Amino acid sequence: MAAVPVVVQGAPSPGIAMLLGFIPGVGAMYNGQFMKAFVHVGIFVMLIVGANHFWLFGLMIPFWVMYMAFDAYKTAQARQLDCLCRIRWASTKCLACRKASPEQAQPLLRLQLRDAAGHS
DSSP assignment of 36-56 equals HHHHHHHHHHHHHHHHTT-HH
How large is the average pLDDT for residues 48-71? 95
Residues 4-12: what's their mean pLDDT?
69
Residue 27 shares a structural domain with residue 69:
yes
Q: Are both 70 and 110 inside the same structural domain?
A: no
Binned at pLDDT 50, 70 and 90, residue 30 comes out as very high
Q: What is the spatial distance between Cα 17 and Cα 40, in angstroms, rounded to a whole number?
A: 14
Instruction: List the one residue out of 44, 11, 6 whose CA is nearest residue 30.
Output: 11
Residue 8, in any domain of the structure = no
Strand partners, 93: 100
Higher-confidence residue of 98 and 78: namely: 78
Q: How many domains does the chain have?
A: 2
- 71 plus 97 within the same structural domain: no
- Measured on CA atoms in the order 10, 13, 14, 17, is the torsion positive or negative? negative
Domain range for 20? 13-80
pLDDT of residue 81: 81
Looking at the structure, do residues 45 and 72 belong to the same domain, yes or no?
A: yes
pTM greater than 0.75: no
Do 73 and 92 have their domain in common? Answer: no
What is the per-residue pLDDT across 66-88, written as a single tens digit (0 to 9) for each? 999 999 999 999 888 876 554 44
Q: What is the mean pLDDT of the chain?
A: 77
